[in-house]
């Protein structure tokens, strides 16, 4: 088996097959898989690898369905990975209505790569299986909105239990739209942060002020702008919670569950002057929070590493920081059901019982956040979930037990209507 490949489109393909073999074998997180690529793999080659890895994981349920019955004994992971990558290329080719020779070229390419990655015998298997898979995928039609959950789940590559949950929560039409949304590749959004310079002219303005889409092929220009802090990669959906909080110039804002710091930077840019205190548990994401907080010109920034559930007030006091704030944001860990178009492997990791577990954790975090709000202060609870169990129900249970707070406003975004990531934010006012 060859272990190195010359740079170029073939090495992107081979790297994809190797990463997908690891994903099939150990279900490693795909953001970590992508980070394991060598730094020399850059530009178009890295972008191609990312496109293929995300595409395979996004469509893996449909590919698995098409493969079922075609292979009697599952081949080893690297060969299985080749079948999945070819499966995604076929899905993409049929969706784009490419020329009639394209499936044959995809088969040929998969066979040649298998000779390098595996063996001639496995290449013969790939040849036979990918041809049959092409015929199956080509003959498939998207199920209508009233199709059974299992048919929707297989075609749109989601777990059937999740599709059933959404059918019960949102109804048939909205579930169909959500599934389609999650299956479409996400544009790369970025926010322009530099107040003294207009946004780079190659960025494409979006309908959400300050947010732009980054055209493909602009990575060489994007890198330095990210480093300097002029640009931050961020979906327009992230602005909702900070808009509800409405940070006021000069005030002190506490950002809880802050890492990696996307909302801290939105707060900083709204504050212009004042102070931000960003708190998260000491973990790997804290380095990115630290880096982001180094880009807060005009606003005093403090980073606090503490567990909110085990006495954050003491740690704030130890740092010489206030223990009560007029404005507090808490952006809790959640199911990520609003951001599945970006985070394509989340749907395969999520389990039915996670919603109850998350809601319990979220309720405890919100109660801990409430203790850090000054009298008359504002508290925003936010998630990137579209599930009422993690949104409305957590807030209702909180209000039942915290009579000093009232709900002033809420914003719930579902991607099939807002056309950006989904999530929810609730503005709670303390008496
Ligand atoms: C959704 S992420 C936050 C994203 C962040 N607000 C942003 O905009 O970039 C949730 C965060 O909650 C943090 N977290 C989870 N449990 C926590 C706890 N007990 N105390 C403090 N932070 C916690 C996690 O470490 C994670 O970084």
Element of type H or E holding 411: strand 405-413
**CB of 57 closer than 8 Å to CB of 81:** no
Of 80, 118, 124, 46, nearest to 107 (Cα)?
124
3-state SS class at 179: helix
The superfamily CATH assigns to domain 237-430 is Vaccinia Virus protein VP39 (3.40.50.150)
Residue to probe by mutation, ligand 1, list 234, 292, 333, most atoms within 8 Å of CB: 333
Q: Check if 315 has its Cβ closer than 6 Å to any atom of ligand 1.
A: no
C-alpha to C-alpha distance for 115 and 195, rounded to whole angstroms: 54
Of 362, 328, 365, nearest to 246 (Cα)?
328
pLDDT digits (tens, 9 = 90+) for 121-147: 999 999 999 999 999 999 999 998 789
305: its two tokens: 């590493």
Q: Check if 261 has its Cβ closer than 6 Å to any atom of ligand 1.
A: yes
Distances (CA, A) of 41 to 82, 84, 189, 402: 20, 22, 23, 53
**CB of 426 closer than 8 Å to CB of 407:** yes
C-alpha to C-alpha distance for 243 and 250, rounded to whole angstroms: 17
pLDDT band, residue 3 (cuts 50/70/90): very low
C-alpha to C-alpha distance for 302 and 272, rounded to whole angstroms: 15
Phi/psi region, residue 272 (left: phi>0; alpha: psi -120 to 50; beta: rest), is left
pLDDT of residue 311: 84
Residue to probe by mutation, ligand 1, list 191, 235, 281, 291, most atoms within 8 Å of CB: 281
Q: Check if 388 has its Cβ closer than 6 Å to any atom of ligand 1.
A: no
184 contacts: CB under 8 Å, gap ≥ 6: 341
Q: Check if 307 has its Cβ closer than 6 Å to any atom of ligand 1.
A: yes
CATH of domain 9-139: 1.10.940.10
Enumerate the β-bridge partners of residue 343: none
**CB of 425 closer than 8 Å to CB of 350:** no
Q: Helices (H) and strands (E) in the chain — how many of each?
A: 19, 11
pLDDT of residue 284: 81
Distances (CA, A) of 182 to 44, 47, 179, 292: 24, 20, 5, 29
Centre of ligand 1 from the C-alpha of residue 283, in Å: 10
Q: If you average pLDDT over residues 163-179, what whole number do you get?
A: 97
Enumerate the β-bridge partners of residue 256: 279, 330
- Specify the residue with its C-alpha closest to ligand 1, atom 6: 258
Q: What angle do CA 154, 156, 160 make, to 5 degrees?
A: 50
Q: Check if 237 has its Cβ closer than 6 Å to any atom of ligand 1.
A: no
Q: Check if 358 has its Cβ closer than 6 Å to any atom of ligand 1.
A: no
Q: Check if 361 has its Cβ closer than 6 Å to any atom of ligand 1.
A: no
Domain positions in the chain are 9-139, 149-183, 189-232, 237-430
pLDDT digits (tens, 9 = 90+) for 313-345: 999 999 999 999 999 999 999 999 999 999 999
Q: Check if 308 has its Cβ closer than 6 Å to any atom of ligand 1.
A: yes
Mean per-residue pLDDT over the chain, rounded? 95
Q: Check if 331 has its Cβ closer than 6 Å to any atom of ligand 1.
A: yes
- Specify the residue with its C-alpha closest to ligand 1, atom 23: 257
Centre of ligand 1 from the C-alpha of residue 289, in Å: 11
pLDDT digits (tens, 9 = 90+) for 191-246: 999 999 999 999 999 999 999 999 988 888 998 999 999 999 999 999 999 999 99
| CA 357 to centroid of chain Cα atoms | 20
Centre of ligand 1 from the C-alpha of residue 334, in Å: 10
pLDDT digits (tens, 9 = 90+) for 276-313: 999 999 988 899 999 999 999 899 999 999 999 998 99
pLDDT of residue 8: 59
User: Where is pLDDT greater, at 8 or 188?
Assistant: 188
pLDDT band, residue 99 (cuts 50/70/90): confident
Work out whether the CA dihedral 358, 361, 366, 367 comes out positive or negative: positive
3-state SS class at 87: helix
Radius of gyration in angstroms for the set of CA atoms belonging to the chain, rounded to a whole number: 24
pLDDT digits (tens, 9 = 90+) for 398-431: 999 999 999 999 999 999 999 999 999 999 999 9
Q: Are strands 405-413 and 423-430 parallel, antiparallel or unpaired?
A: antiparallel
Centre of ligand 1 from the C-alpha of residue 332, in Å: 6
């Amino acid at each position: 088996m060859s272990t190195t490949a010359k740079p170029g489109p073939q090495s992107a393909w081979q790297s994809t097959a190797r990463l997908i073999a690891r994903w099939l074998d150990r279900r490693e997180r795909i953001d970590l898989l992508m980070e394991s690529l060598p730094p020399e793999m850059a530009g178009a080659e890295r972008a191609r690898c990312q496109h293929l890895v995300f595409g395979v994981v996004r469509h893996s349920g449909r590919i698995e369905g098409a493969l079922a019955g075609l292979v009697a004994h599952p081949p080893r992971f690297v060969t299985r990975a080749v079948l999945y990558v070819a499966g995604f290329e076929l899905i993409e080719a049929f969706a784009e209505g490419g020329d009639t020779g394209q499936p044959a070229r995809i088969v040929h390419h998969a066979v040649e790569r298998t000779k390098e990655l595996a063996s001639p015998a496995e290449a013969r298997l790939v040849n036979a299986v990918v041809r049959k898979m092409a015929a199956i995928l080509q003959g498939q039609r998207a199920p209508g909105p009233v199709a059974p959950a299992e048919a929707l789940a297989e075609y749109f590559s989601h777990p059937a239990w999740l599709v059933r949950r959404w059918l019960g929560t949102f109804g048939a039409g909205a579930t169909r739209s959500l599934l389609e949304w999650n299956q479409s590749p996400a544009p790369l959004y970025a926010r322009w942060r530099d107040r003294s310079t207009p946004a780079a002219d190659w960025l494409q303005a979006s309908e959400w002020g300050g947010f732009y889409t980054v055209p493909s092929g602009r990575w060489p220009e994007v890198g330095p702008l990210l480093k300097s802090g002029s640009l931050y990669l961020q979906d327009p959906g992230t602005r909702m919670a900070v808009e509800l909080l409405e940070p006021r110039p000069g005030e002190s804002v506490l950002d809880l569950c802050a890492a990696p710091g996307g909302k801290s930077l939105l707060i900083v840019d709204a504050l212009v002057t004042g102070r931000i205190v960003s708190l998260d548990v000491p973990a790997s994401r804290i380095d990115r929070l630290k880096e982001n907080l180094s880009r807060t010109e005009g606003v005093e920034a403090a980073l606090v590493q503490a567990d909110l559930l085990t006495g954050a007030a003491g740690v704030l006091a130890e740092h010489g920081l206030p223990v009560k704030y007029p404005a507090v944001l808490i952006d809790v860990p959640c199911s990520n059901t609003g951001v599945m178009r970006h985070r394509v492997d989340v749907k395969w990791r999520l389990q039915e019982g996670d919603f109850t577990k998350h809601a319990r954790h979220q309720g405890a975090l919100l109660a801990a956040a409430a203790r850090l709000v000054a009298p008359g202060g504002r508290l925003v609870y936010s998630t990137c979930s579209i599930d009422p169990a993690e949104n409305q129900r957590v807030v209702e249970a909180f209000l039942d037990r915290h009579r000093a707070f009232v709900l002033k406003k809420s914003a719930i975004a579902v991607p099939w209507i807002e056309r950006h990531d989904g999530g929810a934010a609730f503005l709670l006012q303390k008496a």
